[in-house]
Chains A and B, each alone.
Chain A
Amino acid sequence: MTTANRGGKRILVVDDEQDVCVYLARLFQEHGYSVACARNGNEASQSVEKEKPDLITLDLSMPDKSGVRFYREIKSNPALSRIPVVFVTGITGPGGNPKDTERFYSTRRQVPPPDGFIAKPIDQEEILGLVARLVGVP
């Protein structure tokens, strides 16, 4: 049962951890989004073309194609580069401070900074708030 209607906004959840996919999918569905999941960068590339999502949550360390590679690809594709991407990752900086990692990814020249950054373990309110802001729903 959904608690709100988010105007049919679609989210693509990319994570190699099956349970994280299921969890985030259920969390977003519960809050009125429609959700598709991908388990690695390759699946995500196919899915993003097909689903045309309004937002992507992206894990960075994945087998096959990494999240960073997938991110670089869509940001260099004019048809897809406007889709907001939120990094959702367990990789944190020295001492485990997620802010350090966020700063690191925000200052790489090769890739533009992500639209949002969420460190695992995920804070539900934080991710929901960020996603709502990025897809422009109240």
Chain B
Amino acid sequence: MEERDAVPKSWMAGPTERKVDALELTCRRLFDEVPCYISIQDPQLRVIEANLKVVEDFGDPISAQCYTLYKGRTERCPECPVARTFQDGLEHTSEERIFDRRGLPHDVIVNTRPLHNPAGKIVGVMELFSDITVQKELEYRLHDSLNRFHNLFDVVPCYVSVQDRDFRILEANRQFKQSFGGRLGTYCYEIYKKRSNRCSVCPVAQTFEDGKTHSSEEVLIDNDGKQAHVVVHTAPVRDSQGNITAVMEVSDDITEVRALQDKLASLGGLVGGIAHSIKNILEGLRGGIYIVNLGFRDNNQQDIRTGWEMVQRNVGRLSPMILDMLYCAKDRSPRRLPVSLPDVTREVLELYSPRCRQLSIKIEAHVAQDVGTILGEQKDIHALLSNLIGNALDACLSDQNEEKAYCVRIKVFQEAPQAVIQVEDNGAGMDEETCSKLFTKLYSTKGTFGTGLGLLVCHKVATEHGGTISVKSAPGAGSAFTVRLPLAPQEERGPS
């Protein structure tokens, strides 16, 4: 109380008592009516004066420790602006949460100011609390909704970006950053398409122009160089005056849908190709039956033989086609039996030699003596090699260069841990685009003659045997298909 008295006494020095009383009353009223909490603490942090608002909301403050009064603490706060003002004589500001007598929290901004006696000594510190509970609440809500917005923005399973008028990325969501990197400020066309200038048709530009939403289908290239087919939707982002300040671009990845569509289209082509081949076989069968019937009618052995040969030949054509179809339709793992590549090569060569002689196409095989066995299905490897040689012959036949001496060359050798089969021809060859499609879809360069099944079978056999198949080709120069199959481990090679 002694300390508490010290302040009013110093204020009273000088003027007459009546005037001083009136002034003190006015000050007191003003002090009480200020719409914030004001208290004065002594160096021991005891409250020596407080306005009415403090008394109303926190109870009798006088002589209470400020930390107990405002925060219900038994010890002083670690960061105390009052103590700091006592220490350095300066004003301090901090943000605190205090609790009234009912236990309700108040978020406040605290300002402290030193009070000096005439000797200049700090005898008290005035603490002024501005209640910002409502603002704080709004701030929390804003923060919360921003968080929610960002979470939604991030978890949307599409590429989302916000762009300015120069097509620079201002914001991007998580999926975008994962696929295209997090470099904000980069141009959209650089990041999405690895282009150095803007696209001629741009839905973002259209939205900036007319303020409407636009859509388009685009092909993007991610940071790994992988293509993604997307459907892009754009929408304007406006400020409070309604001006378009940015455009949001949402790109939905439809790569898998496109792949499925391509697959279905190839399947349609495959079915068409098979139907055409079957039509020709059917025609051969009908012809054979017709001629056999003529032979029976006329008792002509020659006709019966000719017709019957036609029937046999066409049934023979049907069998491998159906086996190929079945092979492609099934998902299975081949048995792991020792397969000798020189043996299979010899068998296939014997099969094709008569046809090559007939077509005047040279066929030669170079089989390394030391090539090891592989593990798999002999008939699958047979089908693979037959298809590759059949294709090589077709490539020679479809090339119309009378000056060329056509040749199909088979090489079998080993590059441990793999066995390598190469089938080369100097036929028509293919361009890069054709090569890129060969193994990825049912694709035929033979128009209605091919079904696209052959290379699909080759690819399936190679991959099911743990190997790979690749092609090098150039139009007019021919093609070289290379199959790499893992060699059998020494202990599983079986009798040689």
Contact = CB atoms under 8 A, between A and B. Distances in A.
A23 B285 CA distance: 9
A137 interface: no
A19 B283 contact: yes
Task: For chain A, give the interface size range.
Answer: 20 to 34
Contacts of A112: none
Given A1-B298, A22-B306, A121-B282, 19 more contacts: A17-B284, A19-B310, A20-B280, A20-B284, A20-B287, A26-B290, A26-B291, A26-B303, A61-B447, A63-B397, A63-B398, A63-B449, A64-B400, A90-B280, A90-B448, A91-B276, A120-B279, A120-B283, A121-B283
A23 B283 CA distance: 8
B447 to A, nearest CB: 6
Contacts of B286: 23, 121-122
Contacts of A129: none
Contacts of A90: 276, 279-280, 283, 448
Interface in A77-128: 90-91, 96, 120-122, 124
A43 to B, nearest CB: 14
A130 to B, nearest CB: 17
Contacts of B124: none
Main secondary structure of the interface of B (DSSP, over half): helix
Interface of B: 275-276, 279-280, 282-284, 286-288, 290-291, 294, 298, 303, 306, 310, 313-314, 397-398, 400, 447-449
Interface string A11-44: 0000001011011101100100000000000000
6 tightest A-B CB contacts, nearest first = A23-B287, A19-B284, A90-B279, A120-B279, A90-B276, A19-B310
B280 A120 contact: yes
A22 B287 contact: yes
Nearest to B314: A19
A106 to B, nearest CB: 20
B448 A61 contact: yes
B279 A22 contact: no
A79 B399 CA distance: 30
Interface of A: 1, 17, 19-20, 22-24, 26-27, 30, 61, 63-64, 90-91, 96, 120-122, 124
12 contacts: A1-B298, A17-B280, A19-B310, A20-B280, A20-B283, A22-B310, A23-B291, A64-B397, A90-B283, A90-B448, A120-B280, A120-B283
Contacts of A24: 287
B275 A96 contact: yes
Contacts of A96: 275
A13 B224 CA distance: 56
A17 B276 CA distance: 12
B446 to A, nearest CB: 9
Contacts of B303: 26
A131 to B, nearest CB: 16
A63 B359 CA distance: 13
Contacts of B294: 26, 30
A122 B298 contact: no
B276 A27 contact: no
B287 A19 contact: yes
